[in-house]
Structure 1
Amino acid sequence: MFFLSWGRPSPQDQKACINKAGTFNYDDKYKGATAKSLSSLKADEGLSKDGFLLNNARVLMGSGVETFEKGKSALRSWRHFGLNWAFVDPKTPVQQGVTFCVCVKEFLPWVMMPLQIAYVNETSTTKNRVASFGFGSGTLNGHLLAGEERFSIEIDENNQVWYEVLSFSKPAHILSFVGYPYVMLRQKYFAHESAKLMQKHINSSKS
């Protein structure tokens, strides 16, 4: 089962996709795993044993609290998905348990891929001015992949602001199995383009 649309998917198309999707299509023991660091996921032998591959991009957005707050706002409004070939309904609330579709144009048809927000994490501390905001979404039945992806923004002890995309995935359909090298390239390309969108939003929003 997977979901196609010959035109740009409407809200009704996306709702129908979500209604048919059902539950997570990956093991419960990995639910929320992307809340961990990249090094922790690399050290998790279970992930690689079960066939999952990691994808990670960490990009410097600038520095200062204003940049961090603009980055948080961008994530909450799905600015990182504002591409002409990949989008999420920007009205989708960033809250645990919310289901949504990532709509991606692949050649002629659009593919609708259902997900659910598995967690939302926000930390804030005055010590060293370190703070972060991020959320992870897990794939549902009907998604071409099985796994989880986290988008986050962080201000570190040096006052630098970082945007990060971290995911683990494996094929969940014959189409993605056959074309998995292409899928991995698209994941890396999306992370690159997503970072550019975040940077553009942060720069255009500065007073």
Structure 2
Amino acid sequence: MRSFTYPDVGATREGRRPAGYHHRSARFRIARGREAFHAATEGLMSWNVHRRAGLWVQASHDYAAPDVELASGLGLGPLRMRFYARVVWTINEQDRVGFAYGTLTGHPLSGEELLMVEIDDADDVWFATTVVSRPHAWYARLAGPVTRIVQGMAIRRYATAARRLATAP
């Protein structure tokens, strides 16, 4: 079993901003209506947001839940970059559904990411994320700010995937 690569497990649940980590929050309006909300939450919790964002996914369970481990990545064969994480907490409320996962040994970054779908009183559906991370692998440290740029691109791809799932016919 892989170990967490950071000490502050659960930081995103408590809203903590650990020192030495980069902090990023983003929120994207992706759709409108309760049906779209349910489609987006199902896609998020079943890893389809990740798949639609272009990642391959192998998880210990088909649905995000505490302690579920996830291996995901980009590329093929020996050129595949792998990301290892474990779900640390979930939220399943009438208007908010999502999960946070923490990085495990072998992940190029160290930290936690919260992915959530929300619906507001105006019936707008939102994809929201909060990330606390820092480079862990030597190549992520070497890449410096490029790592944060790539992370931002991944977040936008997740939001686009959630939008497509929410609005699919």
Pairwise same-fold verdict (TM > 0.5): yes
| One-letter amino acid of the counterpart of residue 34, structure 1 | T
Aligned length: 167
Deviating above 6 A after TM superposition, structure 1's stretches of 4 or more consecutive aligned residues are none
Cα contact 1:100–1:115 (8 A) shared by 2: yes
Q: What residue is the counterpart of 1:72 in the other structure?
A: 41
Give the counterpart of 1:32 among 10, 18, 21: 10
C-alpha distance after superposition, 1:134-182 (max 9, x if no partner): 1000001121111001110011122211111221100112111111311
Within 5 Å, give how 1:14-93 maps onto structure 2.
19=1, 22-27=2-7, 30-36=8-14, 40-41=15-16, 44=17, 47=18, 49=19, 51-83=20-52, 85-89=54-58, 92-93=62-63
Cα contact 2:56–2:74 (8 A) shared by 1: yes
Whether 1:96 and 2:74 are equivalent positions in the alignment is: no
Unpaired stretches in structure 1, ≥5 consecutive residues: 1-18, 125-130
Structure whose alpha-carbon radius of gyration is higher: 1
Whether 1:121 and 2:64 are equivalent positions in the alignment is: no
| Larger strand fraction of residues | 2
Give the counterpart of 1:132 among 96, 101, 105: 96
- The Cα of 1:83 is off from its aligned counterpart by 4.6
Give the counterpart of 1:145 among 109, 114, 118: 109
TM norm structure 1: 0.73
> 2:134 and 2:54 mapped to 1: Cα distance?
22
TM norm structure 2: 0.88
- The Cα of 1:116 is off from its aligned counterpart by 0.5
Q: What residue is the counterpart of 2:134 in the other structure?
A: 170
Cα contact 1:55–1:187 (8 A) shared by 2: no
Cα contact 2:28–2:126 (8 A) shared by 1: yes
Secondary structure in structure 2 of the residue aligned to 1:82: helix
Cα contact 1:92–1:100 (8 A) shared by 2: no
Cα RMSD (Å) of the superposition?
2.0
Give the counterpart of 1:155 among 108, 111, 119: 119
| One-letter amino acid of the counterpart of residue 26, structure 1 | Y
| Larger helix fraction of residues | 1
